[in-house]
Structure 1
Amino acid sequence: MATVSLRKVKKQYENGFAAVHGIDLEVREGEFMVFVGPSGCAKSTTLRMIAGLEEVSGGEIHIGNRVVNTLAPKDRGIAMVFQNYALYPHKTVFDNMAFGLKMQKKPKQEIDKRVREAAEKLEITDLLDRKPKEMSGGQRQRVAVGRAIVRKPEVFLFDEPLSNLDAKLRVSMRVKIAQLHQSLKEEGNPATMIYVTHDQTEALTLGDRICVLNQGNIMQVDTPTNLYNAPQNKFVASFIGSPAMNLVETALGQHDDDIFVEIAPNVRIYIPKEKQTLLASHINEAVYFGIRPEHISIASDDDTVNTVAGELTVVENMGNEKYLYFKVDGKELIARTTAQDITTSDIGRSFRFKLDTHYCHIFDFQTEENLVI
C-alpha cells in the first residue's frame, strides 16, 4: 500500500484546453478515496494521469516516495479496473486473472494460489473455467476486480467500474468492493483505493473521503458526513444529496437583534442565534439560502415561526417516505417527509410547511462560499 500525492497537477491539451487546473490532493495509505463530480469535471482524466495513461502537463504525482510522472503504467505499482472490463474474450477467467502474473514470470504454484484466493474473495471460484461471453456483466466486472487483486498492487484505481451494470447489480457490486477493501484491511494488507464515479450514492457509501471535482478544480475533500452536513460552497451543497438541497436567491435582513431572509415577499425565515454571529457583517447582502428537503416538514397548528404556505405541485412516493414539491411565490422547493396521508389527489392544494433553520446554510452570492460553517 502507498500514499498518492498530487502536487499542483495540471492537464492541458494541444488545442489549449485546460482540463485540470493545478490541483493538490493527498490520498492516505489504505484509504478509499472517491472522485465524484458531473460529466466533464476531469475526474477520469485525473485518475488516468495517476495511472500513467495520460501525460501530466505540470506538477508532480507521487506514489509512495516516488515521483511517477515519467514512469510507465506497469512500473507505478498500480492496478486499474475499467468501465468496460477489458477482459481477453478468448481466455478463461483463470487465465484472464493470471495473465499479469504470468507476464511477471511468477511461479505457477504462486499464480494458482493468488488466483484462487482472489476468486474466493469475490465468489467466482465456480467461474474460473468459463470465458467472458458466458458470464453476466456483474460476473465479468468481478473478474476484472479479481485480476487487479492478484497483482497485489500498491494502489487500486477504479474508473467508473459499475456504470455498465443495471441498478440491482450496481448495488451488489458496490457492496462487494466495500467488503473487499475491509477484508484486505482485516488481513493486515490494507489497500489504497481511488474510485471514480458520477453516482453520488456510490461515492457516499464507499468513500472514507470524497474529492468533489468541478471543471478541473477540487471543490472540497472531506468525509461523506461532512460533505453532506457542512458543504463548503454552493456547488457541493447542490451536487451532494438526493433530492438536492433547496437553494433560494435572497438577501440577509435584520430586525432588532434577529437576522432573517425573505424567501417570498413578506415571508421571513429567521436564522438561529448560533449562526447569526457569522452573518453579522453580511446584512443587506445578496445570499443563497439553503436547506435540505428532510429539514422541511408539514407544519403543525402550534408552528408559528419559520413557516411558509406553498402550493403542492408534485408528490413522489418513495415507499417509506415522500418527496413533496411545492411552490412559494413561483419558487419550487422540496420537502422530504414520512407523512403518508398526503397523496397525488392533494396536488394543487396549499399546505403550511415548517423550515428547521438549525440546519440551514447561507452562501455568499458572489463567492458561493458557505458563511455559516
Structure 2
Amino acid sequence: MITPHNIKIADYNYDLPKEKIALFPCDKRENAKLLIYENQQIKEDIFAHIANHLPNDSALIFNNTRVIHARLLLRKSTGAVIEVFCLKPVSPTPLHDEAFNVRGSCEWECFIGNNKRFKDTITATFPCGGDQMTLKVEKLTMLDNSAFLVRFSWMPEYLTFAQILESVGRIPLPPYIKREANPEDSNRYQTVYASEKGSVAAPTAGLHFTSDLLKTLKEKQIPMEYITLHVGAGTFKPVSESYIIHHAMHEETLFFHKKSIEHLLSLLNKRIIGVGTTTVRSLESLYWIGVKMERAKKQNKEIGNDCLTIDQWEVYEDLQNYIVTPENALQNILHYLKEHRLDGLYASTYLMIVPGAYQMKICKGIITNFHQPQSTLLLLISAFVGEKWKEIYTYALSHQFRFLSYGDVCLFV
C-alpha cells in the first residue's frame, strides 16, 4: 500500500535543460502550446482552442488571487542593498484584504536578503503618486521559518500599504527565471481576472486566459467560479528530504465567498476542473474542512478554529475514518457560515497531495503548467495521472514545449 511514508522524491525527478525554462511569456497569452491528456492519449493544440477540448459537463474553478509587488530593494546610507520580501501580514491584521488598506504603519513576515547588513532602521524617500513618501523599515525579530518580523512605517500617513508596495515594490518573479522583472511583467505575471491582493507568486495556469477567451467559455455555457488562495513563497521550496514524509509543507491562506460555496455545491454533478494546482489544493482543502466539521459534530464538540486549518498529513490519518460526501462536506460549511452569520470562509491549508495515497474528492481535472523536478507540485500532478506523468513530460520535452511559470500548459481530464 502506498502511503506518504514510503514515497521517495527521487522517483519524481527528470532532466530539465535550462533552455526549456521559459524566461519570458509567449507573444500572446492564448498562443501558449496546449498538451491534452485524455483517455491515456496525448495530443497537442494551442490554448486559444481550450474550449474545444473541455468535456461537455465541465465546470472551471479559478484562483483570483493577485500578485503583490512583494520585493523591496532598499539602499542603506553605506550603499549596501537590502532586499525585503513581504510574505504575509501580521499586525494590525493578518487578513490580506484588510492589511493592504492599513495606513501609517504595519508589521509583516518577510524574508530578508543581505540580512547581516540590516542592523539599523532603514529610512528612504520615494515618489508615490504625486507625493514624496518617506518609508522606514525596521527588523524586529527572527521567526521560526527563517523569516523576520518587519515593521514598516511611512509618511504621509494617509497612504495605504497597498500604495506603498505599488510604488516601491517589484513583481517577485520565480527564482528559476534568471533575470530582473521588467515593466511588462507587472501585466503578464498576473491573470486577467486577478482581484484579491495577497500572492507572492502567480497561479500560472491562469496566465493563459484572456478576457475574450473567458467570454467564449461563458457563451459555450461552461460554468465558472472564483475562489482565493494566496500563493506563498513556499511553493518554490524544493523537497530536500529523501522521503516526502519529512518535508514540511508551507501554509497558504484561503478565502471562499458563501455564494461561491453555494455555487460549488450546485456544480458537484459536473466535471470540476481546477485551473492550476493552487485551485486544486483549495477545493480539496475545502472538502476536508467540511469533514473536520462533521467530525466535530459526531464528537459533540464545538466547531473551533482548528477545523479551519488543514494540516499536512491529517487527511491520510484520522480523517480517513470519516466517510463524508462532497455534498455533505460543503453543506456543513454553509451551515457553519449561516450559524455564525458570515459571508465567507477564511481558512488555511498545509495539505500535501501525493500520488497513490490521495484520492481527489472534488476536482476531476486540472489545467496546469509544467512543474519543476522533485517538487510538491509534480507530486500533485502524479496524483491525477499516476506514473503517466513521465510519459507526458518526456513527450513535452521532445516536442518543444516550454516549462515552468511562463511556459506552456496541460489539460488533464
TM-score between the two structures when normalised by the length of structure 1: 0.29
TM-score between the two structures when normalised by the length of structure 2: 0.27
Q: Over alpha carbons, which structure has the higher Rg?
A: 1
Larger fraction in strand: 1
